[in-house]
Amino acid sequence: MSTVTAKSAAPLDEVMLAMDVVDTLRHRQDLVTRELDGAAREKQLIERLRSVYHQQGIEVPDHILKEGVAALAEARFSYDPPAPGFGKTLARLYVSRKQWGVPFLAIAGMLLVIGFGFFGVWQPLARGQAEQARIELSEGLPAQIDALYQTIFEETKVQQAVAQADALVERGKAFAAEGNRSGAEGIVAQLTELRDLLRQQYTLRVVGDLNGLSGFWRTPANNTDATNFYLVVEALDSNGNPVKLPVLNEETNRTDTVSTWGVRVPPEVYDSVAADKRDDGIIQANVVARKSDGFLEPEYLMPVSGGAVTEWENP
């Protein structure tokens, strides 16, 4: 350090004394307010400051007292906090990072996981499923409808099945074009049922068990003057296994899925079958109808009246 610089710099103890004077003035605001209101009273203030320090056993030179008073007026040793702003906010956040850092990182990590799950997993999956559903509706279901129609067209032996399939295909394609997935799937189910119905093969036979009921008659509740005659029949496939079919009960107007039911027949048919069974206990002419592949309805080999029941009481 040069001699000039050393001479120009104030001794440290004088600087400290000046700061102490300022600090004393700050803690004696009543004195400062009264005495600094007028510059002419500076001398009186210095005298009082000298008295305060003298009572403490400290002798402070006049130039130090003057320096302290001037420093207070200039706010030389005062601290003015920075004005509010973005920089101050960032600084406070940085200083208090130990308090909020861990919770912030935990929340940020959780949000990152949620964001990745939503944007990186769920959204692509949802888009993929939506695209798959769109392709299925615009291409897959129409292709199933066309395939089922082609099968029905090739396997049916009656024009009625083709007509039914044509109507279903038209409705199914319309549902697919409208974006009605459930409607299109319903048409696929109906076409599948129509195809399966064409493929069904079974025989309706009169139940001929000696201990079983082969026929019965009853009086309708709404017409006591009439008598309805029924033959008990069972549907059997080519291996003799029961085949369950939907049958409309004309008395309850309810469709039941059964393999055995009563078919209404004319009285003469009923009497003929009864006589056949009484002859030797065996019904030789026991085939009522046959359902062949490619047909919608069974072919009846004996006259029937067109009604049926699914419930009756054995005598």
Summarize pLDDT for 59-86 with one digit per residue, the tens. Answer: 777 777 777 666 666 555 455 666 777 7
Whether residues 222 and 177 share a domain: the answer is no
Contact 65, 50 (CB under 8 A): yes
Rounded CA-CA distance 249/246 in Å is 10
**314 domain residue, yes or no:** no
Whether residues 189 and 228 share a domain: the answer is no
**164 domain residue, yes or no:** yes
**227 domain residue, yes or no:** yes
Whether residues 82 and 149 share a domain: the answer is no
**2 domain residue, yes or no:** no
Q: What angle do CA 181, 186, 189 make, to 5 degrees?
A: 130
Q: In Å, how far from its chain's centre is CA 152?
A: 38
Whether residues 225 and 287 share a domain: the answer is yes
On the question of pLDDT at 146 being above 50, the answer is yes
Whether residues 228 and 173 share a domain: the answer is no
Final residue of a structural domain among 155, 171, 199 = 199
Domains held by the chain: number: 3
Whether residues 90 and 171 share a domain: the answer is no
- The highest-confidence range among 94-98, 181-185, 221-225, by mean pLDDT, is 181-185
Whether residues 52 and 146 share a domain: the answer is no
On the question of pLDDT at 284 being above 80, the answer is yes
Nearest to 230 by CA among 276, 267, 279: 267
Final residue of a structural domain among 76, 106, 136 = 106
Q: For residue 296, which amino acid is it?
A: L
Chain segment 299-315, per-residue pLDDT in tens: 999 999 989 999 987 65
Whether residues 143 and 94 share a domain: the answer is no
Question: What is the dihedral angle through the alpha carbons of 97, 98, 101, 103, rounded to the nearest 10 degrees?
Answer: -140
pTM: 0.57
| Residue-range definition of the domain harbouring residue 154 | 122-199
Contact 198, 295 (CB under 8 A): yes
Q: Which residues contact 78 (CB under 8 A, 6 or more apart)?
A: 22, 26, 72
Whether residues 177 and 157 share a domain: the answer is yes
**114 domain residue, yes or no:** no
**258 domain residue, yes or no:** yes
pLDDT at 200: 94
Whether residues 130 and 65 share a domain: the answer is no
Question: What is the dihedral angle through the alpha carbons of 262, 268, 272, 278, rounded to the nearest 10 degrees?
Answer: 80
Final residue of a structural domain among 199, 215, 234 = 199
Whether residues 74 and 101 share a domain: the answer is yes
Both tokens assigned to 204: 């309706």
What pLDDT band is residue 17 in, cutting at 50, 70 and 90?
A: low
Whether residues 218 and 263 share a domain: the answer is yes
Nearest to 249 by CA among 263, 235, 239: 263
Section 99-107 average pLDDT: 79
**135 domain residue, yes or no:** yes
Helices (H), the chain: 3-8, 12-27, 29-35, 42-55, 62-74, 86-95, 97-115, 123-135, 141-155, 159-178, 181-199, 267-280
**192 domain residue, yes or no:** yes
